[in-house]
Structure 1
């Protein structure tokens, strides 16, 4: 790989030459041609470069030119763009004519095809590169939060390198991927998230309930390299990408430099400090123990107990004795009535608050760009160092990128690009995992100090339960971490030939390959694996993509224009995952496989190929009606031969009715109506058409957490892998209708882009249970149907524009509804989460929460048990929550005054329930803040019930008047322990609505005249912040969390997840 990189960089450098130019300064004034008033804020750009300025309060500008034969481009909202040749002039005054109808924004659509946004008949949305950079997110996906209508982003956690999930217009597949395609410069890239045997208590292919928060591979993208970003939402926009874009596409164009420009060197630095933004509230009043014979009793390891709960006495009623204890540096704790008690009151600890540290995030980026008459180039180096809020956690990323394009001969351009990324770090365990940091931390009783040491001299673990039933969080962060090291190359070569003024041929070959090496550790004396365990996992992935395109752009007549593209695509993906599991380590801290008493090896290889041909034709009629027809046919290797070919079409219409009716009104400036219809396919997962076998394994729950994995005792065994092959499978199909309008008012100062869409997925692939007598448990079938529909709106406004002061605002609104129309015959629902509470059920929204709840009568009144005064539990489970939000709102506000710029994004989510399993367990354990009311006498609102002879419960009309002590007088009457380990599902469901300051930046650009005698072209300094404040009624950590990560279809799951962060810091940008 290093030789490959060296070769490419040498090649790129060899093609690049540097040119020196004489500097020329041009100044002038820009006015309105309508009334001759000065125009402040006009963009003045040297054509073909990024060199430019904006006009001041008096409409005046001054710019230093960098090219030979320069031209200046003047652009401003509501005015026609003008290009003026300098021709040696030192003063150029320009009068700009108003023209709000010419929306000449060029965007990159599917297959890398550039198009005028005005001519599109479907919805797309751009995100300014500056917005992405200013958020200072480690994960590129997280930087899109709140910035695009129809898009929902969920960060897994605030831990370094954590994955982020992205969905465009909801979930369209039941068990397949719902993630969009990521494309860089026309090359689709991998954005997978692979788990590492998530926790030692889980199967290898589990649902992600524990383990560490791994990265999605889009985290390897350096935001500083991005020039522009476009989100393609529906099939009419993505059809040319084929099945890989069944869920939409995020199309990224990177910086490439410009021809005829002298070298420009840029350096950007950002530094933030990170802090926990939200934690569950815990009680620090009551000690470890239980209620014994009606009396709260102190029970801890120091007095011979291993009680997990904190239902003991008040801590201020306990004293230290003059006796040493290995469990507490201050001595043995005893009741105040104990003869050994001294006057020293026992200490109470807030273990959660004391555990976290201040993290940091530092980024350095340097780039060189420019070009000659025939060549342009861009080189960049980026470095990110993130230290976590949890001790001993970090993530770093180093990126080298080089791109050059040269005209070998007239009309024939060759482009080379190579991006090498090294990323990885140290990751900590979370979730349903007795070695999870948050599980051990939050369950710890407030009468025990975790930080007083996690190991005894004999090497055994010091934890609050007396052994290692739950790991001390300091033991976990120092002993049970996972390291990963990713080496990745993304590169492409492109040939482009303009055979005729109206005919272009383009060939593009791209590769995305990486190796991901991981070491998962569970040290000796860990709660999960007492004997110790090490898992070495290596993931090798290689994607190859080839595109050939022929494009015709020609006016057929004076009123009809034609744009036609015909293309071929080849795509292959190879993934090899090797896993070595060693158990029974020779000594603590030594994770060499040679020291393990038992070693098991597993290998897995997936291969996939896809061939596609596609075409698209757009007719422009009188520059006001734009009609598009597109289609693609794919041949997929994951489907049976009889069904591996499938075609999907799309059509769209855009009508600029202001042109048709010659509307020239300062109030209503521009209007376009659009409509589209399209289909897109989604093929089957790998190896579901054939039956397979897997190495046998025997598990015995807690006594054998890893089970017996063959080969064992010299024997080997295989059994059916559980999924019976189906050679009749066919592709899933999503059909979408879309209607929308692009409107502008007040000479373009207000713009509205609104869209209604309705998407239905049919023949969705679903694994259904089959009789076990077959030897298999499930079979994949085409049976499910889902519907997503909703409204997206993007509102832009230049609210104030006076002199040097401007106030611009952008509002992105998303309202999506979904419904599972059907699953399969005899299957009303399937469970998708680790604990059986989230379902995909017929007739219900995607991912509803389903579980235990209070028993209610026909009037909705809770039925109370007359025997103990506590509510009855309904013997029938039911729907208790919906994780899908009512709406999402992103509100960007930007204020500029001279060189000062303030920008902030408010992110609002209304609705969307979250499963707070953490709260249920903390209340059961008596450490949740809610349990402070344990001694209060309460009367639960409801009516009394009667238990019939057959066991059924019937509600009466008698109101409940029974007073109960909420904490109970024994385990059977404790409200918080009466309904199981995690409590009733109903009590764990909470509203996940929020209002947050997603990001904020305050930047100052030094005046150009200050830099005239310096080597700098520009200097920017700023203050930056992220998640600066959060308002939510959710009682857990930040409700933007998801235990099962980015690759799962589970939504809104919080079970001892690692917390999120808030950040603030500084940035500096220099241009030479």
Structure 2
């Protein structure tokens, strides 16, 4: 009886549940994009068209049944699906459609737009591309991927600063580096290393401010080039802007990622080969024959007996080397750390619910230096959180914390403790080790045995940095939002230097120690009102008003002491000659600006920006500047007459014009300054800086581009023409020494850059199992100085030892005497005179412009991707053309006299020297002395830097879904990458790496590296 009633009760319950699900109820909410309401959204339910269900205020109210699935859609936005449950309220968050409109791009001040809604010149590189590029500093991952972006390595030491130029040089003496913005926070990107002199010039390994960012935390890196894209950042964006957006959480259950890499690094190019002991002996004996042959009747048969005899040199370095067995000492090899190890590990988690998201990560990277004495280690932690506190209030909190320990070396210059210098200068006749295996400290020419100094000296950068971006948003009305953002950037930099008392730089002082503490605090406070509205259904407006205040404070305290007890390395243990130095400066910048975005049916777009800003860097009467930009775009493919053009997916014309400025110079350069000093052994106040009126460097920028996508976007790309004019250039003008000053900062001169950029991408094959795509980008730039101030009735010409700046020429055009080769009869070097004839007298030769500078005229890259059933192959090439590099160290490494042949060492190019009448060669005859002018500035040491480099080659495999389910994870990826494995250089004479810094000079710094890296990625 009871069972019968249970059966009837079950039927009744099922019926009640079914009826309950069938009952209609009202579901309401707000449809929004980026926190602001979005009117005009349509809703579909299981194939039934409700039509436009939202009012103009963006609210909706629908009769629905529990269990049904609603699909919210809007042109240009991703569809949002929602399964009706017990709730009676659901707020819809919509985002731009990455598939329909190619990609969503992050722009200035939190704007996020689909690519066909942008009027400026913007290139975005996705985070997975950045994460798959194993480099110590994330900016290196952009090389070869963005048209018009040039990157050159200042040093291959891990964590070193890279030279980056967007569309060439815009200024003479002010910075030409772009502005970096991390999650809306404009950060300070100065060299963080303490190895700098009093003028801020590097005396050792530099340290990039971006080295503390974990590449696996990056969502996108976006390069803003033209005025329409950069105008919102005002003068700070005059050289372009690179936006770094870090990862945010996604709604859903926690998702985890784990990544581990291990690799090995070496020089990308071998560089010049240096003379062996036997080769050097041959050249030095020949030099003695050429010098003393007639006097002592010398030839190859008797020169050695003469050399070690009473008329020769006796028991000198060469004789001792021969008597000790002629053991080859390869110093170049000794200072290298072959197959330097690099490791990286990171772990991340993200998730969220309807009210907010979170993302957190930890990372650890360690790089051994390819040159002894240099290594790099960093620890990073990142956290991002978003939360809707209620219907009107939301909050965002983000922080990136890093600690870097970099052991640097004294590189880039003629520092005797520079291992690179040791490897090039040290004579192979000098023993590396003593017979007992200890380093030989009795070295020649005063050079240090850097195997000893690297092990017993300390050059340590210890940097802790916190970058935090935080925002509080309040929805005043449905389409009006107030947001307050504050970004904090705090750096604590400790630099410790210790020179041991036994050998090297510290020997003369009984050992020395110094310590430098820097505290840099930079904050930016932004307050904005964002209003979005429609006029009718076709006219969409977005108006944004912003005020911004930025303040930077710099404090430095340095101490130095000498005479340290054995085994003591700290500054506090020094016994004598204490010195201290401190400095403080600050600067501030205040701005207010407005942005207007107009969109008509996604066909016609207009962006207008106006910014008024003041900077404490300038004189009070010239402190404020006004800048603006106008950008427009026509989406031709959205026109009705293009609806039947099935082959065209995207065709759009865009252009922009605007003005901006440049204020990136040191503070207080306009002020007349005094400094503490000494006169006649008494304390005194000394004139330090001349000062004078100083105002904004101004720039005008024009950009016109065409973008296209054809055949279901199998073929896509863009073409762009740009022109940039810089006026009232910030210039450190040299002054006569009789003035008592070396230079004065002033506004003089005009400059112009013009060029074209092109990008092309082709999906050659698209299929389920096999895909093949190729892409390329190229950018050109022509730089011309269009105006210089009139001095004594003529435009000023600034003539340097190797280059010159004058009207009508590119800034820093090489200006040298032209080398004419070697006189085949005498073996003497020749140069060209003004009348075109040759002369063996260097002073009679004419200096000429060489129509080339250190700035490449053409840069770019090309890539290809192939994948087949989980396997894939990626290749990226980069190239730079139309520039030259100068070897300023040739006066040490390529002299045909005792400097290279006896005291130091020379390259094997010297083996091609002139020997007999009739010899055709570029290397003059060798001698024991004289001929110093043979390595004086001339085109003999100027090389074409044109090169193509295989930047990255990656082979990998994505585990199939069956296998990942078997091991209980979501995805597994294995890959091996080769970084910089191949380099082709046009000029066969150039043995150095063609990537040099913006000055164009070969430096004694660690060259770019090649590496092989193995990577494991797991998602679960």
Partner of 1:486: 463
- Unmatched segments (≥5 aa) in structure 1: 1-67, 89-98, 300-310, 320-324, 336-340, 697-709, 866-870, 942-962, 1043-1049
Going from structure 1 to structure 2, the CA distance change for 1:651 and 1:194 (only over 3 Å counts) comes to same
- C-alpha distance in structure 1 between counterparts of 2:150 and 2:419, whole Å: 28
Aligned with residue 1005 of structure 1, among 938, 953, 958: 958
Is 1:652 matched with 2:631?
yes
Partner of 1:759: 724
| Deviation at residue 1000 of structure 1 after TM alignment | 1.9
* Structure 1 stretch displaced more, 767-776 or 877-886: 767-776
> Are 2:290 and 2:926, in contact at CA under 8 Å, matched by a contact in 1?
no
Partner of 2:128: 130
- C-alpha distance in structure 1 between counterparts of 2:684 and 2:514, whole Å: 22
Partner of 2:648: 668
Aligned with residue 798 of structure 1, among 747, 763, 766: 763
Aligned with residue 995 of structure 2, among 1020, 1028, 1040: 1040
- C-alpha distance in structure 2 between counterparts of 1:773 and 1:1051, whole Å: 28
Partner of 1:403: 384
> Are 1:937 and 1:966, in contact at CA under 8 Å, matched by a contact in 2?
no
Partner of 1:607: 586
Partner of 1:828: 796
Matches within 5 A, 1:200-349: 204-205=198-199, 207-208=201-202, 211-259=203-251, 261-278=252-269, 279-284=271-276, 285-287=278-280, 295=288, 333=320, 346-349=326-329
Going from structure 1 to structure 2, the CA distance change for 1:334 and 1:622 (only over 3 Å counts) comes to closer
Partner of 2:1017: 1069
Deviations 1:422-464 (A, max 9, x none): 012211112222322222221122233325589989xx93213
Is 1:445 matched with 2:427?
yes
> Are 2:268 and 2:1010, in contact at CA under 8 Å, matched by a contact in 1?
yes
Partner of 2:806: 841
Partner of 1:355: 335
| Deviation at residue 582 of structure 1 after TM alignment | 3.0
- C-alpha distance in structure 2 between counterparts of 1:724 and 1:989, whole Å: 36
SS at the partner of 1:143? helix
| Deviation at residue 1071 of structure 1 after TM alignment | 1.2
* Structure 1 stretch displaced more, 590-599 or 104-113: 590-599
- C-alpha distance in structure 1 between counterparts of 2:462 and 2:715, whole Å: 48
Matches within 5 A, 1:728-807: 728-770=693-735, 775-807=740-772
- C-alpha distance in structure 1 between counterparts of 2:915 and 2:756, whole Å: 48
Going from structure 1 to structure 2, the CA distance change for 1:650 and 1:935 (only over 3 Å counts) comes to closer
Deviations 1:1023-1046 (A, max 9, x none): 11211111223633322133xxxx
Partner of 1:705: none
| Deviation at residue 367 of structure 1 after TM alignment | 0.6
Is 1:883 matched with 2:815?
no
Going from structure 1 to structure 2, the CA distance change for 1:294 and 1:1054 (only over 3 Å counts) comes to closer
How many residue pairs get aligned? The number is 899
* Structure 1 stretch displaced more, 1013-1022 or 875-884: 875-884
- C-alpha distance in structure 1 between counterparts of 2:68 and 2:581, whole Å: 64
- C-alpha distance in structure 1 between counterparts of 2:866 and 2:666, whole Å: 48
Partner of 2:876: 905
| Deviation at residue 600 of structure 1 after TM alignment | 2.1
- C-alpha distance in structure 2 between counterparts of 1:71 and 1:313, whole Å: 101
- C-alpha distance in structure 2 between counterparts of 1:875 and 1:181, whole Å: 44
- C-alpha distance in structure 1 between counterparts of 2:155 and 2:571, whole Å: 30
Aligned with residue 866 of structure 2, among 895, 906, 917: 895
Deviations 1:907-928 (A, max 9, x none): 1222321112234421111421
Partner of 2:933: 979
- C-alpha distance in structure 2 between counterparts of 1:606 and 1:771, whole Å: 28
- C-alpha distance in structure 2 between counterparts of 1:742 and 1:770, whole Å: 49
Partner of 1:724: 690
- Unmatched segments (≥5 aa) in structure 2: 1-66, 86-96, 293-299, 309-313, 820-829
Going from structure 1 to structure 2, the CA distance change for 1:774 and 1:739 (only over 3 Å counts) comes to same
Partner of 1:91: none
Going from structure 1 to structure 2, the CA distance change for 1:83 and 1:511 (only over 3 Å counts) comes to closer
Q: Give the TM-score normalised by the residue count of structure 2.
A: 0.82
Deviations 1:492-532 (A, max 9, x none): 22112333332222111110001111023333342587324
| Greater helix share, structure number | 2
> Are 1:135 and 1:1000, in contact at CA under 8 Å, matched by a contact in 2?
no
Deviations 1:329-349 (A, max 9, x none): xx97366xxxxx6xx852233
Matches within 5 A, 1:489-528: 489-524=466-501, 525-526=503-504
- C-alpha distance in structure 1 between counterparts of 2:98 and 2:591, whole Å: 40
| Deviation at residue 872 of structure 1 after TM alignment | 4.2
SS at the partner of 1:677? strand
| Deviation at residue 939 of structure 1 after TM alignment | 4.9
Is 1:470 matched with 2:447?
yes
| Deviation at residue 195 of structure 1 after TM alignment | 5.5
Partner of 1:191: 189
- C-alpha distance in structure 1 between counterparts of 2:286 and 2:632, whole Å: 77
SS at the partner of 1:239? helix
| Deviation at residue 936 of structure 1 after TM alignment | 2.9
- C-alpha distance in structure 2 between counterparts of 1:73 and 1:274, whole Å: 52
Going from structure 1 to structure 2, the CA distance change for 1:315 and 1:1065 (only over 3 Å counts) comes to farther
Going from structure 1 to structure 2, the CA distance change for 1:334 and 1:213 (only over 3 Å counts) comes to closer
- C-alpha distance in structure 2 between counterparts of 1:266 and 1:373, whole Å: 22
Aligned with residue 667 of structure 2, among 673, 683, 686: 686
- C-alpha distance in structure 1 between counterparts of 2:436 and 2:991, whole Å: 26
| Deviation at residue 558 of structure 1 after TM alignment | 2.3
SS at the partner of 1:642? helix
| Deviation at residue 597 of structure 1 after TM alignment | 2.8
* Structure 1 stretch displaced more, 838-847 or 881-890: 838-847
| Deviation at residue 668 of structure 1 after TM alignment | 3.4
> Are 1:315 and 1:346, in contact at CA under 8 Å, matched by a contact in 2?
no
- C-alpha distance in structure 2 between counterparts of 1:716 and 1:857, whole Å: 53
Going from structure 1 to structure 2, the CA distance change for 1:838 and 1:589 (only over 3 Å counts) comes to farther
- C-alpha distance in structure 2 between counterparts of 1:1054 and 1:823, whole Å: 29
> Are 2:784 and 2:808, in contact at CA under 8 Å, matched by a contact in 1?
yes
| Deviation at residue 317 of structure 1 after TM alignment | 13
> Are 1:371 and 1:377, in contact at CA under 8 Å, matched by a contact in 2?
yes
> Are 2:138 and 2:215, in contact at CA under 8 Å, matched by a contact in 1?
yes
- C-alpha distance in structure 1 between counterparts of 2:961 and 2:70, whole Å: 20
SS at the partner of 1:404? strand
Is 1:642 matched with 2:621?
yes
Going from structure 1 to structure 2, the CA distance change for 1:112 and 1:317 (only over 3 Å counts) comes to farther
- C-alpha distance in structure 1 between counterparts of 2:880 and 2:217, whole Å: 30
Q: Give the TM-score normalised by the residue count of structure 1.
A: 0.78
- C-alpha distance in structure 2 between counterparts of 1:528 and 1:987, whole Å: 38
> Are 1:938 and 1:965, in contact at CA under 8 Å, matched by a contact in 2?
no
Partner of 1:957: none
- C-alpha distance in structure 1 between counterparts of 2:352 and 2:430, whole Å: 65
Q: Which structure would you say has the larger Rg?
A: 2
> Are 2:857 and 2:883, in contact at CA under 8 Å, matched by a contact in 1?
yes
- C-alpha distance in structure 2 between counterparts of 1:414 and 1:838, whole Å: 54
| Deviation at residue 87 of structure 1 after TM alignment | 8.2
| Deviation at residue 594 of structure 1 after TM alignment | 4.5
SS at the partner of 2:759? strand
- C-alpha distance in structure 2 between counterparts of 1:772 and 1:298, whole Å: 42
Partner of 1:1057: 1005
- C-alpha distance in structure 2 between counterparts of 1:239 and 1:216, whole Å: 26
